[in-house]
Amino acid sequence: MSFIWPFTIGLSFISCFLVIIVGIWISSLSHIDKSRIWHNLLTHKSLQAFHEIFMESLLHRKIFKKNPVLGYMHMSLAFGWFLLIVVGHIDACNHLHSLSVPAYKAIFFRYFVTEPSTTLSGKILAASMDLLLIFVLSGVMLAYYKRVNSRMFGMKKTTQLKIGDRIALSSLWLIFPFRFLAESVSAGIHHNGSIISQPTGNLLASLLPIHLFEMPLWWAYSGSLALFFMAMPVSRYMHIPVEVVLIFLRNYGIRVKKRISGFSRIQVYSCSRCGICLDSCQMNHVAIKDTQSVYVLKHIRNRNITDEKLFNCLLCGRCQPDCPVGLELNDLRITQRIESTKEYNSSYEYLKNGKVAVSPQTEVIYFAGCMTHLTPAIIKSMIEIFTMAGVKYWLMDEEKTACCGRPLMQVGQFEAAKKLIEHNRERILATGAKMLVVSCPICYKVFNEDYALPGIKVQHHSEYLLELMVENRLAIHKLPLRVVYHDPCELGRGSSIYHQPRLLLDEYTELVPMKNEKEGAYCCGGSLANIKIQMNERNQIRDNVLDEYLSYQPDMLATACPLCKKTFAKSNKLPVHDIAEIISMAIRQKEITAPEVSEDKEVLKMEF
């Protein structure tokens, strides 16, 4: 009987630990976030959360979509164990004719209750328990196998494990086999088993002196449970309880902010280290294998994150849609970068010295963006289009203009970025404009999310041009060119603008759809968010992406970001043009010439 103590101590320990730590986290939330919890606790939002917990934490629907075998493995362990506990309790309550049963009685049911079940309901419950255990064991088998051959699960890589993880993993994998053996042995002795445990027990009885094994096996079962509970705080399995808390808070509208808080800690602990984020990370192409989200979250949790890992990420966001827990991976990284660089934010006092041009009154402001000045064809095309459509605009950043501030934010210099934002905001608001059109998606994201510009509509030029087209203010002329469109990270995943550029390109060119696009699009490699990567590594990433684009045999690559354009144009394998350039060219009905195809220059004929 005393074998229940390891389990009981373990369970008490982890319960207390969870209550305390979740309590600390929630109490550290801001006032607004706490009031969000209060206001939404008794609303349908909680039901939404329960639904999400059922679909994702138990059934792992997202993982099923990625790969059915992987989904089955996670589901069998999570849902199976959940059902074992629930049905086990029902079984115990049913058998002992009581509405509540102490935990150890339910968990070690087959030890304590040695008579087989006589009622139909009892028999059904017992059989269900056996089947559920097999269900879980099938998942455990798959988990063993995945360590050895992960490709079958649609994953190319598995996470590296440290000591806490290894102990928890091993004990988790042992819990169910031990339970199965213990129940079977008890069935063999007392004949209280069901459809699977009974035959197994009988088989064992015929081979071994099973009465010697009964107590050791129940001790082993209890011990592995205890070990699992004790190891949980230092392992990835914290995600099991913390994920539930996360889902509730997220449904109440709480999001990761710019400061480390209880909520960001909750997200960090919710990472199950499933490793699905590893495969979509393009850093693998340049043999950088230790800076992906799963590893950075682990280091943040263990408070030993280094700048080399934290800043070596393109913030492309490809890992985010794949995360089965729906963690805000980019924002978590930015928040940590803010923490890491907080001691050296500049104050940009010089912005106040009045050197900038006075803002004229205008309806439309055109902010080209820092990078766009190095791709002047984009600015020229936009100016031509504005002129053709009869729009009066002000080219705000023709000269003497501060950067939009997002490159600073991406590397964590948030306080510094706020200075630039405030400066630019004043200039924008002073014009009385109603519309701000930008050519650079990096600028677009920050103008949209972090600049408070009341009464001003912020649009990327692809949105703006689509509106002009729909209003019949732009001539339409289809060019006979096969074009593939590269989704810029900050415009696509970053701002959910996928369709507008495509609708435009469909009208003006022959747009060729690709396999990896929209939410699954690649990053060009030129990202400003990564300050550690070297030029040759960026070139490698870009070349891999281009090889895939070239397989569609396009005449041209279209994009909507000057940084992407510059990055792809370096390779000279495929002509790259911005959407604005394509439209302007089409409208002026000029032939588009590809820079790489160097036609023979005019050669004076030599007569002889």
Partner 1 sequence: MKDFGYTVIKQRTIDYDQFDGRLLNEVLQMEPSFKVCLSCGGCTATCSANDLVSFNVRRMNLLLRRGETIELESEIRKCMLCGKCMLVCPRGINIRNVIMLIKKGILKYNPVKS
Partner 2 sequence: MELKRNSLKHIVIIGGGIAGIETASALTDAGHWVTMIEKDAQIGGKLNNWSNLFPDFTPVDKITDYLQEKCRQKDFTILKNTEVNSVHRNKDKFSIETSDNQQLEADAIVVATGYELFDARRKEEYGYKIYDHVITSADLEQLFKSGGDLSVTAGQNPKRIAFVHCVGSRDEKTGNHYCSKVCCITGVKQAIELKKHLPEAEIFCFYMDLRMYGKHFEELYREAQEKYDIQFIRGRLSEASEKMDKSLLIKAEDTLSGRPLKMNVDLLVLLVGMEAGKGTTSAAISCNIGCEESGFLKTADSFLNSNISMLEGIFLAGSCTAPMSVNDTILHARSAALEVSSWLIKH
Binding of residue 595 to partner 2 (CB under 8 A): yes
Binding of residue 604 to partner 2 (CB under 8 A): yes
Binding of residue 371 to partner 1 (CB under 8 A): yes
Distance of CA 425 to the CA centre of its chain: 31
Q: Which of partner 2, partner 1, none does 402 bind, CB closer than 5 to 8 A by kind? A: partner 1
Considering CB under 8 A, how many residues would be counted as binding partner 1? 37
Nearer to partner 2, 68 or 376 (CB): 376
Residues 89-148 that bind partner 1 (CB under 8 A): none
Binding of residue 387 to partner 1 (CB under 8 A): no
Considering only 343, 471, 600, 602, the residue that binds partner 1 (CB under 8 A) is 343
Q: How far is the CB of 602 from partner 2 (least distance, A)?
A: 7
Q: How far is the CB of 579 from partner 1 (least distance, A)?
A: 20
Considering only 122, 150, 570, 592, the residue that binds partner 2 (CB under 8 A) is 570
Considering only 70, 113, 294, 569, the residue that binds partner 2 (CB under 8 A) is 569
Q: Is residue 371 within 8 Å of 488, Cβ to Cβ?
A: no
Question: Which span sits near partner 2 by CB under 8 A: 250-258, 302-310, 466-474, 591-599?
Answer: 591-599
Binding of residue 373 to partner 1 (CB under 8 A): yes
Considering only 411, 521, 546, 561, the residue that binds partner 1 (CB under 8 A) is 411
Binding of residue 346 to partner 1 (CB under 8 A): yes
Residue 348 gets the label, from left (phi > 0), alpha (psi -120 to 50) or beta, of left
Nearer to partner 2, 252 or 568 (CB): 568
**Rounded to 5 degrees, what angle do the CA atoms 224, 301, 334 make?**
150
Binding of residue 38 to partner 2 (CB under 8 A): no
Q: Which of partner 1, partner 2, none does 604 bind, CB closer than 5 to 8 A by kind? A: partner 2
Question: Which span sits near partner 2 by CB under 8 A: 3-11, 122-130, 545-553, 569-577?
Answer: 569-577
Amino acid at site 341? T
Q: Which of partner 2, partner 1, none does 353 bind, CB closer than 5 to 8 A by kind? A: partner 1
Considering only 31, 355, 392, 601, the residue that binds partner 2 (CB under 8 A) is 601
Q: Half-sphere exposure (CA, 13 Å, Cβ side) for 517? A: 19
Residues 6+ away with beta carbon under 8 Å from 429:
453, 456
Place of tokens 């080399």: 308
Q: What is the 3-state secondary structure (H, E, C) of 163-188?
A: HHHHHHHHHHHHHHHHHHHHHHHHHH
SS3 of residue 345 by DSSP: coil
Question: What's the rounded Cα separation, in Å, for the pair 337 and 342?
Answer: 8
Residues 514-553 that bind partner 1 (CB under 8 A): 528, 531-536
Considering only 187, 402, 456, 523, the residue that binds partner 1 (CB under 8 A) is 402
Sheet order of strands, 435-438 included: 393-395, 364-367, 435-438, 457-460
Binding of residue 535 to partner 2 (CB under 8 A): yes
Residue 338 tokens read as 């803010």
Rg (CA), the chain: 30
Question: Which span sits near partner 1 by CB under 8 A: 11-19, 289-297, 315-323, 346-354?
Answer: 346-354
Q: How far is the CB of 29 from partner 1 (least distance, A)?
A: 30
Question: What's the rounded Cα separation, in Å, for the pair 126 and 123?
Answer: 5
Binding of residue 358 to partner 1 (CB under 8 A): no
Nearer to partner 1, 141 or 528 (CB): 528
Considering CB under 8 A, how many residues would be counted as binding partner 2? 23
Amino acid at site 526? G
Question: What's the rounded Cα separation, in Å, for the pair 461 and 383?
Answer: 11
Q: Quick count: other Cβ atoms within 10 Å of Cβ 451?
A: 19
**Rounded to 5 degrees, what angle do the CA atoms 68, 292, 278 make?**
20
Question: What's the rounded Cα separation, in Å, for the pair 437 and 372?
Answer: 13
Binding of residue 387 to partner 2 (CB under 8 A): no
Q: Which of partner 1, partner 2, none does 341 bind, CB closer than 5 to 8 A by kind? A: partner 1
What is the total residue count of the chain?
A: 608
Question: What's the rounded Cα separation, in Å, for the pair 389 and 285?
Answer: 44
Q: Is residue 542 within 8 Å of 567, Cβ to Cβ?
A: yes
Q: What is the DSSP letter of 599?
A: P
SS3 of residue 524 by DSSP: coil
Question: What's the rounded Cα separation, in Å, for the pair 526 and 533?
Answer: 10
Q: How far is the CB of 484 from partner 1 (least distance, A)?
A: 23
Considering only 308, 374, 479, 514, the residue that binds partner 2 (CB under 8 A) is 374
Residue 295 tokens read as 């590893």
Give the binding site for partner 1 (CB under 8 A).
Answer: 307, 311, 341, 343-344, 346-348, 350-351, 353, 355-356, 370-371, 373-374, 399-403, 405, 407-408, 411, 413, 420, 528, 531-536, 563, 566
Give the binding site for partner 2 (CB under 8 A).
Answer: 373-377, 380, 535, 566, 569-572, 595-596, 598, 600-606, 608
